[in-house]
């Protein structure tokens, strides 16, 4: 299977499958039909069968999917069967909120270092780490095998910081700055922006 053969919209849905299957497993369900899975995910059974068909045959017609097997396979496909190491850039209020976010580590995403461009922040403590200067980025990324950069700097600095990360071979960017940075093709960026979510909500609430 080649990553480029799978539509991105399918890849974006796979984590939802993983979450639903984990809940089914924890609830003691051994086999699930595409109908049941569809009803959990608010999708049609046909869409689910089509999505999964990109990765081979997981179920037999009329027999449903083995929950544990499908979960294990999808976790492997997504690369969730290993630990991923991330660094945080920017230790202001937002950076503190991120380092205290309880959801990353149980899912295998481990923040292992924190950086800041402000000399006054360098050397301070955050979430058990000593904040490093940006000049240490290249060495730290290599030494600690960091592949994901979590960006929590002000909007005006985000593009520069992201380019710096990419130059140092960090190919996954989780961006919390309220901008849409430009990145090269072989980089994967995801933007987290609750304000954008609220701003599209108010259209319906007026």
Interface contacts to its own copies, rule CB under 8 A = 3, 6, 11-12, 14-16, 18-19, 41-42, 77-80, 84, 92-94, 96-98, 100-104, 107, 109, 147-148, 171-172, 174, 178-180, 182, 188, 190, 192, 194-206
Of the candidates 186, 192, 181, 150, the residue with the CA atom closest to the CA atom of residue 167: 186
Nearer to its own copies, 117 or 172 (CB): 172
CA dihedral 18, 172, 126, 192 (to 10 degrees): -70
| Exposure letters 38-64 (e unless 16+ CB within 10 A, then b) | bebbebeeeebbebbeebeebbeeeeb
Nearer to its own copies, 46 or 180 (CB): 180
Nearer to its own copies, 97 or 138 (CB): 97
Contact 127, 152 (CB under 8 A): no
Would residue 126 be called left, alpha or beta, if left means φ above 0 and alpha means ψ between -120 and 50 degrees? beta
Nearer to its own copies, 62 or 106 (CB): 106
To its own copies, the closest distance from the beta carbon of 107 in angstroms equals: 5
To its own copies, the closest distance from the beta carbon of 63 in angstroms equals: 26
To its own copies, the closest distance from the beta carbon of 198 in angstroms equals: 5
């Amino acid at each position: 299977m080649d990553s480029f053969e799978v539509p991105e919209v399918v890849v974006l849905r796979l984590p939802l499958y993983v979450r639903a299957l984990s809940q089914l497993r924890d609830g003691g369900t051994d086999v699930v039909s595409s109908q049941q899975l569809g009803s959990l995910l608010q999708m049609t059974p046909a869409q689910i069968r089509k999505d999964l068909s990109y990765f081979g045959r997981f179920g037999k017609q009329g027999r449903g999917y083995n929950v544990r097997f499908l979960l294990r396979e999808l976790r492997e496909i997504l690369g969730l069967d290993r630990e991923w190491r991330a660094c945080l850039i920017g230790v202001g209020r937002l950076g503190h909120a991120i380092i205290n976010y309880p959801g990353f580590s149980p899912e295998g995403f481990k923040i292992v270092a924190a950086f800041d461009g402000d000399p006054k922040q360098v050397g301070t403590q955050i979430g058990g780490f000593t904040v490093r200067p940006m000049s240490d980025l290249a060495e730290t990324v290599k030494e600690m095998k960091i592949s994901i950069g979590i960006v929590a700097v002000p909007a005006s600095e985000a593009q520069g910081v992201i380019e710096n990360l990419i130059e140092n071979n960090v190919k996954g960017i989780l961006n919390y700055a309220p901008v849409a940075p430009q990145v090269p093709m072989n980089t994967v960026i995801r933007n987290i922006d609750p304000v954008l979510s609220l701003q599209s909500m108010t259209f319906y609430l007026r």
